[in-house]
Amino acid sequence: MALRSLGGLAARTARERRGRAIITTTGIALGVAIFFGVADCNASIDRAYAQMADAMVGRADVIVSPLGTGITSMPTAVADRLRGAGGVADAAAFHVVWVNADRTLRGAAVRRAGIRPMPGRRLPTEAHTGVPFALIGTVPADASRLDASRLTAGRLPAPRAPEIAVAAELQRRLQVHVGERLDLTGAGGRQRVTVTGVLEDTGAARLTGGTAVGTLESAGVLSGAPSVVTSVEIRLRHGVQSDRWIEDHRALAGPSVDLVDAASFAAPIRASFRSTEQSFSGMSAVALFVGVFLIYLTLSMAVLERTRLYGMLFALGGTRGQVRRLVLGEAAVLAAVGTASGVVVGLGIGLVLLRVTARLIGLASPALVVPPAVLAVGIAAGFLMTLAASWIPARRAARLSPVEALRNDHEPPHRSVPSALVGGALIALGLAVPTPVTRPILSSTAITFVLFGLVLSVPLILSPVARLVGRTTRRLAAAVGEVAVMHLVKERSRSAFTLALVMIVMALAIMLGAAVQSARGALSHQIDAQFGADLRVFGTFDANRQAQVAKVAGVRAMTTLSFGSSSHLLADHPELRAYVEVIDPRTYFDVSGFAFVEGDGQRARTAMAGGGTVLLPGVIAQRLHSHPGDTIRLTTTAGVRRFEVGGTYVSFFTGPGIVVSATDGRLFGAGVPGQLELSVQPGERPVVVGQRIATALGRGAGERYQAASLLKEQALGRFDRFTAIFYSILGVAVLIGLLGLANTLAMSVLERTREIGLLRAVGVHRRSIGAMVRVESATLAAVALLLSVPLGAVLTTMVLRGVGASSGYRARFVFPWSSLPIVAALGVVVAVVAAAVPARRASRLDVIAALRTD
């Protein structure tokens, strides 16, 4: 005899109803799969960034770079001073210069080089072009001690020789082999170099599409600036703290130099992914929440169905605790199966999500890792969600009256009013929860309060709304339609929670549609406002080159941009990272602009003309509660200075860039502008004007051209691909909702078996019985749709508020009226699919067997 404990009974009762067990474990598996898959993807990307950062900084403890534009330089004397400073174990200087390599490309390399076919033409299979890349000039022996790059073929360049080693990705783009010679052109000159080796794709090579390592001498020739470096990497002696060393040697480095702790070097890159990571996690948590609902529904059905069993156990002397443990035991068995399945499926989801996301954010082929902590969290999520969902049904089973349980009298009196009061309080609390910028997690908490509150309130509003909707849906099935609606109205507790499940899923669909529409609209608005220039050219533009460009036919107006970065820009908030964008206010607003949150272009032009005024990105302004007219302290080359805030602008697309006037540029170490923005004459094509500029500048130092339309197309395309991921997660939630509805309908048929037998006995056709089930399904779905509209609007407002708090981006709320037909169609599909099997089963019941049912 096998039964040794009630635990054994729990396992067998779980197996008894295979269909319901499958639905429950599927709900658990889906919830765990999404949650674990997203967590795993996030962990893998985090790990990839960490590895990339480690590779970028190698064994260095401190990175020294110029305060100012992206690739400006500092005298080699800076490197020499710091190399000899106390506490330094080793140092390596680098001179990065953008160059072009003349190559004849064939096959896939043509596409990889970014060459586009002419309209109506196919992509050529061979093209002679300049391939731009970053050449890192250094003393190879120094660099090999500090850098993490590894040779996979050949050798590093010899000291002072015109030789380079290429990263693997660059080798593929250039279609070059060890021993071959390349003709390189830089801003200051040309040089023929020999490829001596191939390096592993690590660090910066992954982001820039490939780099090459050469000598300082080659970099000097190609840049036309032989006595400068662009960065220095320093390894400190054992026991020397980086942050302390940085503070002690800032003065030695000089005012135009930035010293950064290597550990935080990649922080901006990782931070850029943080909000996406949080969004993924938020959506997966919602899918988990919906999964919890499904489990609650199926386990509630199981308790209802086994009421007599529990009554019998009470009669045999079973305690309430034993009955509660029996329900929880069954849930534990289902949790084990569902969680195991979910983890396996989650690995697959994580892999797909990782591949898609990595391509979107430009991360090359990160490996899927499964940190033990993430696996533990995934497993814990499966068991915890099941425990949370099964607690109430278990408690309900334990509190059954033995007499009523033996009579199978199992519809507990549902006290709608007290539940609704608690629900109303939770909704009010959720709407009132602020979303401080530093705690965006509160936005998720607020949404959870609102969802729970609505779930508790649904039983109170179900009856009147179902009656209203039922006036229409009952006509789908003559005579029996009325019966279906009546059951829905009377069986409040079961119908209510199923309704809540479907309602939440539909509301999520509306929320996602509205949030995507609003965000896309605002993104488009920001791009139009801030990137409205016809053409952008990236490179290095001193006064001569600017003059050359200005004279090119077709150029109507031109403005310059410079960029810089600093870890201590905000003097009073060293924890906040921002970069400096230097504009010429006299010309900038003729060509481009900003998507102002506060202020406008005319006032900004006037205020910034004389210097002393800055424009703050929205994300910084929100954190500092800054408004136009306030002052802010910034670290400059002349010490900490006060600046007036002249306006704030949406920084969703561009990140935390503090905009300063060219008048103040020198205070931030701004050097030669690295970007031109141009508007072209009416009737001129930006691409054609770009070609003329390229001709005028000569085969220059790797200038890159970008038409405004291309930027918008790329940005919106990237946005759409990201939102596709969210829609995929929503699809899982829809599937869970469908399972929940199907389960409820199946239970409804089971409970009404005798009634169905009676209807058939008095002459109702089989197809009418099936129609009755479909009417119930349609009414539930219709009520859910009706209630999901205001819920979706509320959720959208909260999500946009949360997004605004974490990114400084205020999207205007736009209700997705165009999405409603799609959501309604989704509701119809869910209702029809969910009702299919229960309706068929109901219509096929044998009359006599049905009438005999207890």
Partner 1 sequence: MYWRIETEPAPAAVTVPLLEALDLVKDYRSGSEVRRALDGVSLSVGQGRFLSVMGPSGSGKSTLRHLLGGLDRPTGGEVLLEGRSLGTLSDRELTEYRRRVGFVFQSFNLIPVLTVAENVALPLVIDGCRRAEVDRRVRDTIADVGLEAHADALPSRLSGGEQQRTAIARALVTEPAVLLADEPTGNLDSATGEQVLSVLKTAQRERGQAIVVVTHDPDVAAVGDEVLHLRDGAVTGCIQLGPDADGSSPAQRLIAWLSDGAA
Cα 316 from Cα 553, distance rounded (Å): 98
**Which listed residue (2, 118, 251, 638) binds partner 1 by CB under 8 A?**
2
**Which listed residue (108, 315, 553, 825) binds partner 1 by CB under 8 A?**
315
Per CB under 8 A, which region of 69-77, 180-188, 316-324, 702-710 contacts partner 1? 316-324
Q: Name which of 266 and 309 has its Cβ closer to partner 1.
A: 309
SS (H, E, C) 405-443: HHCCCCCCCCCHHHHHHHHHHHHHHHHHCCCCCCCCHHH
SS (H, E, C) 765-802: CHHHHHHHHHHHHHHHHHHHHHHHHHHHHHHHHHHHHH
Does residue number 16 form part of the binding site for partner 1 (CB under 8 A)? yes
Shortest spacing between CB 14 and partner 1, in angstroms: 10
Contacts to partner 1 from residues 377-436, by CB under 8 A: 401-403, 406
**How many positions of this chain bind partner 1 (CB under 8 A)?**
28
Per CB under 8 A, which region of 1-9, 39-47, 478-486, 789-797 contacts partner 1? 1-9
Does residue number 9 form part of the binding site for partner 1 (CB under 8 A)? yes
Cα 79 from Cα 92, distance rounded (Å): 8
Per CB under 8 A, which region of 315-323, 470-478, 598-606, 671-679 contacts partner 1? 315-323
**Which listed residue (245, 296, 310, 314) binds partner 1 by CB under 8 A?**
314
HSE-up (13 A, CA, CB side) for residue 734: 22
- The answer to whether residues 748 and 769 touch, using CB atoms and an 8 Å cutoff, is no
* Residues of the chain by 3-state class (helix, strand, coil), percent to 5: 60, 15, 25
Distance separating the N- and C-terminal Cα atoms of the chain: 30
337 to 299, 305, 592: CA distances (angstroms): 15, 22, 58
Shortest spacing between CB 416 and partner 1, in angstroms: 18
Shortest spacing between CB 16 and partner 1, in angstroms: 5
Quickly list DSSP for 559-571: EEEEEEEETT-BT
Contacts to partner 1 from residues 486-545, by CB under 8 A: none
Shortest spacing between CB 406 and partner 1, in angstroms: 7
| Binding pattern for the stretch 602-621 against partner 1, x by CB under 8 A and - elsewhere | --------------------
Q: Name which of 404 and 630 has its Cβ closer to partner 1.
A: 404
Q: Name which of 13 and 357 has its Cβ closer to partner 1.
A: 13
> Among residues 270, 284, 477, which one has the least CA distance to residue 385?
284
Per CB under 8 A, which region of 13-21, 524-532, 550-558, 595-603 contacts partner 1? 13-21
Pairing relationship of beta strands 555-566 and 675-680 according to DSSP bridges: antiparallel
Shortest spacing between CB 395 and partner 1, in angstroms: 15
Does residue number 853 form part of the binding site for partner 1 (CB under 8 A)? no
> Among residues 605, 649, 650, 854, which one has the least CA distance to residue 753?
854
Our CA dihedral for 407, 410, 416, 418, rounded to 10 degrees, sits at 80
Q: Name which of 4 and 238 has its Cβ closer to partner 1.
A: 4
Q: Which residues of 515-524 are buried (b: 16+ CB within 10 A; e: fewer)?
A: bbbbbbebbe
Per CB under 8 A, which region of 44-52, 306-314, 597-605, 703-711 contacts partner 1? 306-314
Using DSSP's 3-state secondary structure scheme, residue 625 falls into coil
Phi, psi (degrees; rounded to nearest 5) at 791: -65, -45
| Binding pattern for the stretch 261-300 against partner 1, x by CB under 8 A and - elsewhere | ----------------------------------------
Cα 462 from Cα 475, distance rounded (Å): 19
Our CA dihedral for 459, 738, 41, 822, rounded to 10 degrees, sits at -90
DSSP state of 5: S
Does residue number 15 form part of the binding site for partner 1 (CB under 8 A)? yes
Cβ neighbours of residue 336 under 8 Å, at least 6 residues apart? none
Per CB under 8 A, which region of 37-45, 176-184, 312-320, 595-603 contacts partner 1? 312-320
Quickly list DSSP for 628-646: TT-EEEEEETTEEEEEEEE
Q: Which residue has the tokens 């909702």?
A: 737
Shortest spacing between CB 26 and partner 1, in angstroms: 22
**Which listed residue (125, 319, 472, 714) binds partner 1 by CB under 8 A?**
319
Q: Name which of 318 and 647 has its Cβ closer to partner 1.
A: 318
Contacts to partner 1 from residues 458-487, by CB under 8 A: none
Q: Name which of 317 and 821 has its Cβ closer to partner 1.
A: 317
**Which listed residue (59, 81, 308, 573) binds partner 1 by CB under 8 A?**
308
Q: Name which of 197 and 311 has its Cβ closer to partner 1.
A: 311
16 CB neighbour count, 10 Å cutoff: 13
| Binding pattern for the stretch 675-694 against partner 1, x by CB under 8 A and - elsewhere | --------------------
**Which listed residue (250, 274, 320, 520) binds partner 1 by CB under 8 A?**
320
Using DSSP's 3-state secondary structure scheme, residue 401 falls into coil
Shortest spacing between CB 310 and partner 1, in angstroms: 11
**Which listed residue (260, 313, 400, 708) binds partner 1 by CB under 8 A?**
313
Shortest spacing between CB 402 and partner 1, in angstroms: 4
Cα 130 from Cα 586, distance rounded (Å): 35
116 CB neighbour count, 10 Å cutoff: 11
**Which listed residue (152, 322, 728, 853) binds partner 1 by CB under 8 A?**
322
Cα 613 from Cα 591, distance rounded (Å): 20
Does residue number 5 form part of the binding site for partner 1 (CB under 8 A)? yes
275 CB neighbour count, 10 Å cutoff: 16
Q: Name which of 13 and 622 has its Cβ closer to partner 1.
A: 13
Encoded amino acid at 614, one letter: V
**Which listed residue (3, 251, 432, 638) binds partner 1 by CB under 8 A?**
3
Measure CA 29 to chain center.
Answer: 23
Per CB under 8 A, which region of 319-327, 695-703, 766-774, 822-830 contacts partner 1? 319-327
Cα 776 from Cα 781, distance rounded (Å): 9
Shortest spacing between CB 760 and partner 1, in angstroms: 24
Does residue number 309 form part of the binding site for partner 1 (CB under 8 A)? yes
> Among residues 696, 629, 655, which one has the least CA distance to residue 808?
655
Q: Name which of 316 and 638 has its Cβ closer to partner 1.
A: 316
666 CB neighbour count, 10 Å cutoff: 15
Using DSSP's 3-state secondary structure scheme, residue 655 falls into coil
Shortest spacing between CB 309 and partner 1, in angstroms: 7
Per CB under 8 A, which region of 5-13, 230-238, 691-699, 807-815 contacts partner 1? 5-13
Per CB under 8 A, which region of 200-208, 313-321, 729-737, 741-749 contacts partner 1? 313-321
- The answer to whether residues 370 and 40 touch, using CB atoms and an 8 Å cutoff, is yes
**Which listed residue (204, 312, 345, 696) binds partner 1 by CB under 8 A?**
312
Q: Name which of 308 and 520 has its Cβ closer to partner 1.
A: 308
CA angle 830, 336, 8 (to 5 degrees): 110
Per CB under 8 A, which region of 305-313, 418-426, 488-496, 633-641 contacts partner 1? 305-313
Per CB under 8 A, which region of 10-18, 142-150, 616-624, 840-848 contacts partner 1? 10-18
Does residue number 118 form part of the binding site for partner 1 (CB under 8 A)? no
CB-neighbour burial class of residue 273 (10 A; exposed 0-12, middle 13-18, buried 19+):
middle
Per CB under 8 A, which region of 220-228, 250-258, 304-312, 641-649 contacts partner 1? 304-312
Interface residue list for partner 1 (CB under 8 A): 1-6, 9, 12-13, 15-16, 308-309, 312-320, 322, 401-403, 406, 854
